[in-house]
Amino acid sequence: MTLPRVLFVTGKGGTGKSTVAAALAIALSRRRPTTLADLDRRRSAAALVGASAENSTAVRVTDSLDVVALTPRAELEAFIERIVPIRAISRRMLRSRTFGYVTAALPGLEAFLLLERLRIMGGDAALKDRYLVIDAPASGSAVELLSVSSGVKGIAPAGTLNRLADSIGSFLGDATRFGAIITMTPEDLAVREALETAATIRERLGIVTVAAMMNCVPDLLFDTSELAATSPLGGHARLAVRRNAAHEQAALVMAQFADAGLPTISLPMMFTPAIGPGELEKLGRVLDARLLDR
Amino acid sequence: MKPREHPKQSAHTKPLDLHAQSLVICLGPGGVGKTTISAALAVRAAMLGCAVDVMTVDPAPRLLDALGLAPDSSEPVEVQLDGIRVPRRGGASKRGRLRALRLDPKRTFDSIVARYAQSDAARDAILENRIYRSLSGALAGVADYMAMEKLLELSANPATDLLVLDTPPATEAIDFLDAPRRLLELLNSRAAVLLGAPGGLFRRQLRMVDVAARAVLAAFDRVTGLNLLSDVRSFVRSFDGMYEGFSARAARAQEKLRGQDTAIVIVTTAESSRIAQAREFIVALEHAGLRVAAIVVNRVLAELPDAAELSSAPIAPSLKRKLKRNLADYAALKARQEISLDALRESLPAGAALMFAPDLGREPRTIADLAEIGRSLRAG
């Protein structure tokens, strides 16, 4: 299938969102030049691919993979510097507490500027035949972020901002340019949040979910008779049941998602003491086979 | 894995004494099970005979069911502690009890505005204001502030021994605790002067940056057609006169947070990224002069079974191999947890208890599950 230029990776906290974003960026960069944009304050996706990304400046990780860190605050600063071209004044203004309160009272301005920046980067990616993978905030905040442009349209009935909001809206709703990837684990809460997120962004913003990622799925090790045979073994039996239960829960959810018309990819649990380059490589290979080649 | 020395550990083995607290605030990053731990601590305290209120922020549907909460219960609801032993306290007639409620930030904010507004017109002006409406709805920080407000309201109830507070997921610990101060500063700041001042009148008193800030807003309004400047101005103006009320509340909230019987509890999981976040929280809190009473690590894997048991077990060799592999797999995950937990132990603040909540291997669905988690909280 053809993937959109921009892949927006979100999911409930703790479902491996940054790991999936990093593995996806690595896998995509084998096919085409790719940029990984880290919107997470903690920069964990950037750290996973081995980059300490600075604000707004792309860092080259390999010949075909760049990493850039974006923050709403930096976008606001860039915006102010455009409006107030005298550096000394714009700098002092940004530092002033007064201005902090004023921007706090202008809800969504920073987020709006961040979305506009993503739209521009998306256009650039199309022009240069690149992919853009975004390690977005966790789903609650991500939905807020994506909804900002439609919110702005509601309160700014005319003018430049309205036109910007329009173009952001059509960018987000264009399945060739923008798509979401939603991570989850085989747990009720994570699954429910993934379903809700997919439904909300589709209904409210027309955003297509490219795939849901069922992360941390252990392979099925025991069949029913083996499970029965382990039952006198106490702790070992519980551990075997636990592994199988997680696998079966994942399979069940994936069937539900398939019924709901939401493509879902299962990613293996990494039974290793750390998530490092080797684990990303493995996840990347799975993504390559199940997402890029399908 | 080789057992390690934890020189600091002995000082922290004393678990959090829930009897001695009147307020427990659970803080932590998103997705660590803060709500579950808050509820488990509350059930545990009720089992110890306390009269407990627990306020949750965004509970999972199953947790709502477990607590018997309707999705919109913003007033306390008595939780049925079916099948859980709740002792009578001190031989008297008073028994442990548990009430639960959900925080509704928007409704709480509206009610505060109604309480402090000096006239109906002032109240309506605020409630209708575009800035207020977006501010009170989704904006981060408002939920924090409102949780704090509700806390003061609930802790004023003399029939309650302990209030357990779940908080909205935060990127920074201080966001929540700092919310009253930030809102106050907004209302009392030069921003109010700047925005409230009629054009030209106080211009000489304003510093250049303020003039520039206003110029930017004006430019922004021109470019966008938003007319935000006047909205912000009327928002700040309409809060005029409410400052006293807010100020008194915020001071009381600060006092409550620093009280001897208030325990700040950081909830995290054993994942390295969450532990790193928890450590940042601790540093930020200490910086603000707030003491962390306990750190609860949620979903800690239980001790693994003994590999030696397998060699003598009367089962097929192929199954034995699989069980060995399964054990090795979970041992690797446990080793991953141990690495992060060691990092946490290294940076544990003085006097803070470290507690582990077990990974049940399933999601808590009933009061009995919450009671099990509460009971199994152990020193880490």
Per-residue pLDDT tens digits for B11-55? 445 678 898 999 999 998 878 888 899 999 999 999 989 999 998
Q: What is the mean pLDDT of residues A241-257?
A: 94
176-205 in chain B: CB under 8 A from chain A: 182, 185-186, 189-191, 194-195
Q: What is the pTM of this model?
A: 0.84
B79: its two tokens: 């939780």
Find tokens 């450590």 and name the residue. B279
Do residue A99 and residue B315 have CB atoms under 8 angstroms apart? no
Please indicate whether residue B320 or residue B311 has the higher confidence score (pLDDT). Answer: B320
Residues of chain A with C-beta less than 8 angstroms from the C-beta of B223: 159-161
Quote the pLDDT of residue B266. Answer: 94
- The chain A residue lying nearest B195, using CA atoms, is A102
User: pLDDT tens digits, residue range B58-98?
Assistant: 666 667 777 878 777 778 889 988 777 766 655 444 678 99
Residue of B207, B215, B225 lying closest to A162 (CB–CB) = B225
Residue of A84, A156, A240 lying closest to B225 (CB–CB) = A156
Residue of B29, B217, B226 lying closest to A13 (CB–CB) = B29
Residues of chain B with C-beta less than 8 angstroms from the C-beta of A138: 30-31, 169
The answer to which of A22-36, A114-128, B168-182 has the lowest mean pLDDT is: B168-182
238-257 in chain A: CB under 8 A from chain B: 238-240, 242-243, 245
Residue A167 half-sphere exposure, CB side, CA atoms within 13 Å? Answer: 14
- In which band, very low, low, confident or very high, does the pLDDT at B188 lie, cut at 50, 70 and 90? low
Please indicate whether residue A233 or residue B105 has the higher confidence score (pLDDT). Answer: A233
Quote the pLDDT of residue B214. Answer: 66
174-213 in chain A: CB under 8 A from chain B: 187-189, 192
Measured distance CA(B43)–CA(B46) in Å, rounded: 5
| Residue A93 contacts residue B209 (beta carbons within 8 Å) | yes
The answer for residues whose C-beta is within 8 angstroms of residue B107's C-beta and 6 or more apart is B74
Residues of chain A with C-beta less than 8 angstroms from the C-beta of B327: 236, 239
H or E element that contains A11: strand A6-11
Quote the pLDDT of residue B7. Answer: 43
Q: What is the mean pLDDT of residues A164-185?
A: 94
- Cα→Cα distances A271→B331, B332, B347, Å: 8, 6, 27
The answer to which of A205-214, B17-26, B133-142 has the lowest mean pLDDT is: B133-142
Q: What is the mean pLDDT of residues A144-157?
A: 75
- In which band, very low, low, confident or very high, does the pLDDT at A28 lie, cut at 50, 70 and 90? very high
Residue B218 half-sphere exposure, CB side, CA atoms within 13 Å? Answer: 10
Amino acid at B244: E
Quote the pLDDT of residue B200. Answer: 38
- Cα→Cα distances A99→A26, A90, A148, A189, B209, Å: 40, 11, 21, 39, 8
ipTM for this prediction: 0.90
| Residue B365 contacts residue B67 (beta carbons within 8 Å) | no
Quote the pLDDT of residue A225. Answer: 94
Do residue B277 and residue A14 have CB atoms under 8 angstroms apart? no
Phi first, then psi, for residue B129 (nearest 5°) are: -65, 135
Is B268 in the A-facing interface, judged by CB distances under 8 Å? no
**Of A119-123, B16-20, B218-222, B361-365, highest mean pLDDT:** A119-123
Measured distance CA(A105)–CA(B231) in Å, rounded: 10
- Local structure of B23: helix, strand or coil: strand
- In which band, very low, low, confident or very high, does the pLDDT at B131 lie, cut at 50, 70 and 90? low
Do residue B269 and residue A160 have CB atoms under 8 angstroms apart? no
Quote the pLDDT of residue B66. Answer: 77
Is A82 in the B-facing interface, judged by CB distances under 8 Å? no
- The chain B residue lying nearest A188, using CA atoms, is B363
